Amino acid sequence: MLLALLAAVGGVIYAVRYFRSARSGLMNLDQAQQKGFEHLRRAYQKAQEILGKAELEGIKVVADTKVTTRKLEQKYQAETEEVVGELEKSFSEGLNRSSKEFIIYLDSLKKTSEKAQADTQAYMQSRVNQILDKFETNLADFLTQTEQKSISAIELELKGARNLIDTYKTQQLTLIDENIIAMLERTLSLVITKKLTLKDQVDLVYEALERAKVEKFIV
């Protein structure tokens, strides 16, 4: 197409130059016009031929271009498809590889996690066992101490209660003894007052005075 255009422009330029040269030369105007018209016609025919050729060429070029383009497109598409396929393939391979690696990694992670979980569990278990043992020991000690304290407190209370009971018993027995003595004194005072004469009473006083003298109470 471009060539055709260039050819057409070249023909026009030639015609113009010719006309210029014709104009500038002092030839027979009719001949010159006739020649010119002849040349013009030829040029025109040439130009038409050239244009035709150019069109043909252009069409050809266009067709070739289309074909080439189509081929290129096809090739491009094929290559693109090939590349895409290869890319897809490599991508899928890579994806598979990555998946596999990822799966392997996940497996290893899983194993590590399981191991860590197992270790943690074992540690927690041992720790819990330690705490429970310690708790059990402390609880046993606490219960023993509490028991001992309770027993001591109860024994103290019992001792206090026993002492209280003994004291009360002693007091009551003392009270009873005193009551017996009081009853005896009362009985004697009632009986002796009636049985003893005044002379007997005076004799008892004499006896007391004798004892006072012997004991040197009155000095």
* Distance of closest approach, residue 215 Cβ to another protein, in angstroms: 8
Looking at beta carbons only, is 112 or 187 nearer to another protein?
Answer: 187
Q: Which of residues 94-113 bind another protein (CB under 8 A)?
A: none
Residue 196 engages another protein in binding (rule: CB under 8 A): yes
The span of 53-61, 104-112, 161-169, 205-213 binding another protein (CB under 8 A) equals 205-213
Structure tokens belonging to residue 16: 């113009």
Q: How far is the CB of 206 from another protein (least distance, A)?
A: 6
**The only residue of 19, 91, 189, 194 in contact with another protein, by rule CB under 8 A:** 189
Residue 138 beta carbon to another protein: minimum distance, rounded to whole angstroms: 59
Q: Does 210 bind another protein (CB under 8 A)?
A: yes
* Minimum CB distance to another protein, residue 212 (Å): 6
* String of DSSP letters for 69-104: HHHHHHHHHHHHHHHHHHHHHHHHHHHHHHHHHHHH
Q: Of 124 and 196, which CB lies nearer to another protein in the complex structure?
A: 196
**Distance from C-alpha of 129 to C-alpha of 139, rounded to nearest angstrom:** 15
Among positions 117-146, residues that touch another protein (CB under 8 A) are: none
Amino acid at 143: L
Distance CA 13, CA 21 (A): 12
Q: What angle do CA 106, 111, 113 make, to 5 degrees?
A: 90
Residue 1's SS3 state is coil
Smaller CB separation from another protein, 113 or 179: 179
Which residue in this structure is represented by tokens 């069409």?
59
The reply on whether position 151 binds another protein by CB under 8 A is: no
Compute CA distances 144 → 59, 93, 95, 153, 157, whole Å: 116, 73, 69, 14, 19
Annotate each residue in 154-183 with x if it binds another protein (CB under 8 A) or - if it does not, as one string: -----------------------x--xx--
Interface with another protein (CB under 8 A), residue from 5, 62, 154, 188: 188
Own/partner pairs for 52-56, CB < 8 Å, 24+ apart?
53/4, 53/7, 54/1, 54/3, 54/4, 54/5, 54/7, 54/8, 55/4
Give the binding site for another protein (CB under 8 A). 177, 180-181, 184-185, 188-189, 192-193, 196, 198, 200-202, 204-213, 215, 217-219
